[in-house]
Structure 1
Amino acid sequence: MNNTSQKLSILEKTGYGLGDFAANLIFQTLLTFLAFFYTDVYKIPAGTASIIIFTGGFIGAFFNIIMGIIADRTQTKYGKFRPWILWTALPFGIAAVLTFLTPDFGMSGKIIYTLLTYFFLVIIYSANNLPYVALSGVLTGDMKERNSLSSYRFVAVMIAQFIVQSLLLPFVLILGNGDKTVGFKNTMMLFALIGVICFLVTFFTTKERIIPSKNQESSIKHDFFDLCKNGPWLVMLLVTILVFITLSLKGGMYVFYFKYYLDPAAQTVFLNDIGFTAFIERVNHSLTAMGLVDFQWPEDAPTSAFSLFNGGGIIFMIFGIMFSKPLADSFGKRNVYIIFIFLSALSLLAFNFYSRSAIAIVFLTQLLHGFIYGVTIPLLWTMIADVADYSEWKNHRRATAIIFSAMIFGLKIGISIGSSLGAAFLSKYGYVAEEVNQVPAAVEGIKLSISIYPGFIFIISAVLLCFYVIDKKMEIQIETDLKERRNGF
């Protein structure tokens, strides 16, 4: 293998980050709004939506394993992983738009359409995203550079998350002139166009530097045998599943939390007190003066409060990401992750104890949670890249994509379980779409789904990480030994 100590330029780090920005315009929309879109926009029963999301997620998860095998064996002049980002850019955009269309079918036709389009999207997503995340493991072998690359990447992720979680619902209402079906279509067409452009930038600005030796023995049997012996991989697989169960469960339920749990009148008072309502009135007045009468911010308080809640949390996540690299460099990724994922769990559990009118404390807790969780965001993927190095260090064979494919398998399993759990809880607790006065059990179920359930899952993740053996001392040893091997010492 070649020397991998080369530093990455700002251009390359930024170009790489734009790939995750593109993917997350779609990924965050699925995470936050898919259950809402299926139940409240396309009018599919919550129980049926749960089955569709769960089944589609598992199909995507298993396809990731196939993609890992394919990607590790792809040989082109552009490398193993970069070509897949190019090849899948346009199909990804098309699949995203199709998933959020609402053709006028009967219920059976709707179910078939959502099954086909969602399955198509998760398969294309796997073909794009698995090579993308594996690419981070071959751009550089310098672990500090990987920490830096991961920080760039996740700032881009947070920007995409901010756009989706804070602005998508207002965009939907604005671009659809109040019609959510038209609004989702127009918004996803815009996201798809931006995404295709960003994927192309990623392809043209990155370079694969870690190249397996030509005489390296490679077989599917060896790849899976190495995985089975890799203890850190197993820990990270379980942690990845649990983390994304949590993110998809709570992320998909926040829109219901603001619409049906928190008191609308208290939300209005809060928005007035902090000056948000007056600010929006000035924005709307300016748009009207420019003749843009169709581009008015929605008037209902839950939409504004939900957008502001998500936006504030994401901004503080970005602050947390900024602390991730120096903390990891000083104390090691594992130790930092354990501490901050546990603190994140405590902040989630706190939501269970707030009344329906305690809007200010809900927002303050979200800001605190955003900062704490933000510290962990880059660490997950750099730790997975370290697991690939650990495997090479132990087995003298590198199979980057199969390591990442197994982790994305866990991610997809986590998302499918978490998202389907959200829809299943809505069905179990008696939720009725668009019903203003939900039964008390449905309201309580919504609150539990953004507090107690995800909080305890995060605590289990923290406990599992205690069994992850790659601490700071081992990180240094692995990096040093691999550099010597690649330099022929």
Structure 2
Amino acid sequence: MSSTTASKSFWDGPLTSSLAKKDRVTTPEMLFGYLIGPFGGLLASGIFTSQLQNYFTDVLQLDLSFLTGLQLFSTILIVIANLVVGQLIERTHCLAGKARPWVLLSALTFSVSTVFMFFVPFEGVAKMVWIAIAYNLYYAVAYPIYNTANSTLVAVSTRDTEKRGTLASLTNISGFGVMGTGTMIFPMLVSFALKQDQNLWLLAMLVVALLTALTVYLQYRFTRERITEEVLAGVAADDEKGDKSAAPSLGDQLSAVARESQWWIIMGVYLLYQWSGAIKNGSMTYFCKWVLDNTFFGTADAWGASQSMLSLLGALPMAAAILFVIPLCNKFGKQRVCIAGMVVGVVGGIIAYVGGGSIVPVGVGIALKCLGSAPIGYMILAMLADVIDHVEFKSNLRTDGLTMSIYSSIMVAATPICNAIFSGILSAVGYDQAADITLGTMAQTALTQNAISISYILVETIAFALCGALLVSFNVEKNLPEEQAALKERHEKAA
């Protein structure tokens, strides 16, 4: 009894209680819980996706074979960690909910692990050991804790499908925002200020870490798990002692999702979308350095300006798309709008690839490709949440923990796996780490440039075509309103 009282007093304290008091989602909750909070939480990740490989190869000058091995080995730890965190979330029962306590923990783990990646006090073998530990502290500990919990929030916040779409869009807007920061703003800082000065890199990431801690804490305070409360009310009614073992086992969850084709479709779409995007983001700096004709800006080494411009050309359509993606999805359905977007993305990818090193057609193609990716980018979490409700309707089991841990695994494993693949590609085609950047496109071989172009443009274009084909069979939305009404009635009768 004393333990329960202490637990309640902690989660209901002045610094830990939820500020989202209403039964409906409010504007402050949307702003701090699903836009500002995730932006700060994922900011370091956005920078890492764009610049960590560059930091490893050109600042720390780590061996490419070491990087490939580290990133591939770490993927095993990352996937295991995400599955473990998903089950821990599923078995967390407290006043704050099941995902929000882990969001609060992330304010500490995220900020500390971010700094460790850039505080490198050793040389030689010791430096590689330090980087291996720091890398896994971030990707196999801190990131799984935050991203699985953050992804779960959309699914447990409300059953209102339109509001859920809005929350998913805001969460993904923050994700695109950090990617924009990582690919548009931070490269300018690197090319003009940080350069290869490790101390300046550390200072910049200290600022990022402090911002992360503050915004993630705000996210925790301004969120609420209404569906978790609804489900737990039914459990408590069935068992006056509130048996915490009532959470479905991992085997039960696996059985429930494995039988559902719609779950496999949306996971397949997300895998293609996320991993092809990771290949693109990881190779963008190299494309701008060694393939793109940067003399457009007056000098061959103005790659930072070129990358910022391409990022801006991609970010503007994505930002504009939020004005019509949600209304179109509400009118025509998420599936149809996302398929149309994939078609536009494929057309843009073809234009960009044919453009080669010319900045104008590449820029136009990238803008179209990003515009086409907007619907699936904004709606993927909402579509996953819809599938979770669909699985619950058919099996009477919530699979938030398993589904979001796999979702998070796909996201977090994308960067190390795809960077490892890209490192292997660079090694295979003879990438010159010591090349003179002032020589621009002349500094690397044609084989290297072709490999970089395929990685940056063509891989994602093909993935978009496959995503569109898969989505043709995605039909969860057809009977979802009736299924959600039946679910609500079940829990109300149980309570």
For normalisation by structure 2, the TM-score amounts to: 0.86
Corresponding residue of 2:329: 328
Specify the code of the residue in structure 2 equivalent to 1:330: K
Q: Distance in 2 between matches of 1:102 and 1:361?
A: 41
Q: Which of 466, 479, 483 is matched with 1:478 structurally? A: 483
Return closer, same or farther for 1:54/1:321 CA change in 2, 3 Å cut-off.
farther
Out of 195-204 and 319-328, give the one that drifted further. Answer: 319-328
CA distance in structure 2 between the aligned counterparts of 1:438 and 1:101, rounded to whole angstroms: 31
**2-side partners of 1:174 and 1:182: how far apart?**
15
Structure 1 residues 347 and 100, CA gap change in structure 2 (3 angstroms): farther
Name the counterpart of 1:237.
267
Matched, 1:7 2:8: no
Shift in Å, 1:12: 0.3
Q: Call closer, same or farther: CA 1:398–1:115 in 2, change over 3 Å.
A: same
Q: Tell me the CA shift for residue 173 of structure 1.
A: 4.9
Separation (CA, whole Å) in 1 of partners of 2:329 and 2:444: 45
How far apart, CA to CA, are the structure 2 residues paired with 1:417 and 1:141? Answer: 35
Per the alignment, residue 12 of structure 2 pairs with: none
Q: Read off the aligned partner of 2:479 and give its amino acid letter.
A: M
Cα RMSD after superposing both structures: 2.1
Query: Structure 2: which amino acid aligns with 1:263?
Result: D
Structure 1 residue aligned with 2:248: 218
Partner of 1:393: 393
Distance (whole Å) between structure 2 residues aligned to residue 78 and residue 324 of structure 1? 32
Q: SS state of the match for residue 298, structure 2? A: helix
Match of 1:386, SS state, is: helix
Deviations 1:163-192 (A, max 9, x none): 22111122235554x444223212211111
Give the paired residue count: 452
In structure 2, the residue matched to 1:36 is 54
Deviations 1:424-445 (A, max 9, x none): 2111111111313112211111
Task: State the Cα distance separating 1:25 from its structure 2 match.
Answer: 0.7
Q: Specify which of 468, 473, 488 is matched with residue 467 of structure 1.
A: 473
Partner Cα separation in structure 2 for residue 333 and residue 444 of structure 1: 36
Structure 1 residue aligned with 2:9: none
In structure 2, distance between residues paired with 1:369 and 1:182: 37
Gap regions ≥5 residues in structure 2: 1-21, 239-245, 437-442
In structure 1, the residue matched to 2:170 is: 152
Find the residue that maps to 1:488 and give its secondary structure. helix
Distance in 2 of aligned mates of 1:379 and 1:268:
40
- Which residue of 1 is the match for residue 458 of structure 2? 452
Whether the aligned pair in 1 keeps the contact of 2:341 and 2:371 (CA below 8 Å) is no
Deviation, structure 1 residue 341: 2.2
2:292 matched to which residue of 1? Answer: 262
Q: Which amino acid aligns with 1:477?
A: E
Separation of aligned partners in 2, 1:100 and 1:307: 23
Aligned partner of 2:278 in structure 1 is 248
Asked if structure 2 preserves the Cα contact closer than 8 Å seen for 1:74 and 1:80, the reply is yes
Is residue 387–residue 403 contact of structure 1 (8 Å, CA) maintained in 2?
A: no
1:78-97 paired onto structure 2 within 5 Å:
78-97=96-115
Compute the displacement of 1:249 (Å).
0.3
Report the AA paired with residue 348 of structure 1.
Answer: G
- Are the counterparts in 2 of residues 352 and 447 from structure 1 also a CA contact under 8 Å? yes
Deviation at 1:337, TM superposition (A): 1.6
Distance in 2 (alpha carbons) for counterparts of 1:94 and 1:394: 42
Percent identity at matched positions? 21
2:372 aligned with 1:372, yes or no? yes
Letter in 1 for 2:485: T
What's 1:428 paired with?
428
Q: In the alignment, is the contact (CA less than 8 A) between 1:15 and 1:205 conserved in 2?
A: yes
> Residue 169 of structure 1 aligns to which amino acid in structure 2?
P
Distance 1:322 1:404 in 2: 27
The aligned amino acid for 1:268 is G
> Separation in 1 of the partners of 2:433 and 2:72?
20
Partner residue of 2:207 out of 190, 193, 212:
190
Question: What is the deviation of 1:410?
Answer: 2.4
- Structure 1 residues 159 and 85 mapped into 2: Cα distance closer, same or farther (>3 Å)? same
Instruction: Name whichever of 199-208 and 398-407 sits farther off.
Output: 398-407
Q: Tell me the equivalent position of 1:283.
A: none
> Aligned residue for 2:402?
402
Q: Distance in 1 between matches of 2:95 and 2:23?
A: 20
Q: Deviations over 1:353-389 (max 9, x none)?
A: 1142x21222222222222212221211111111111
- Counterpart in the other structure of 1:344: 345
The aligned amino acid for 2:446 is P
CA distance in 2, matches of 1:415, 1:189: 22
Deviation string, structure 1 residues 413-462 (Cα, Å, up to 9, x no partner): 43333222222211111111131311221111111111222211222222
Shift of 1:474: 2.2
1:375/1:238 Cα in 2 relative to 1: closer, same or farther (>3 Å)? closer
Name the CA shift for 1:386/1:90 in 2 (closer, same or farther; >3 Å): same
Structure 1's unaligned 5+ residue stretches are: 270-298
Tell me the amino acid that sits aligned with residue 377 of structure 2.
Answer: I
Question: Per-residue deviation at 1:151?
Answer: 2.1
- Inter-partner Cα distance in structure 1 for 2:407 and 2:247: 23
**TM-score, length-normalised on structure 1?**
0.87
8 A Cα contact 1:244 1:415, kept in partner = no
Which residue in 2 is equivalent to 1:313?
314
2:493 is paired with a residue whose SS is: coil
Work out whether 1:119 is the aligned partner of 2:136: yes
Deviations 1:252-303 (A, max 9, x none): 111111110112323438xxxxxxxxxxxxxxxxxxxxxxxxxxxxx95211
Inter-partner Cα distance in structure 2 for 1:418 and 1:158: 19
SS in structure 1 at match of 2:227: coil
Give the residue type in structure 2 aligned to 1:476.
P
User: Would the alpha carbon gap of residues 460 and 406 (structure 1) be closer, same or farther in structure 2, given more than 3 Å must change?
Assistant: same
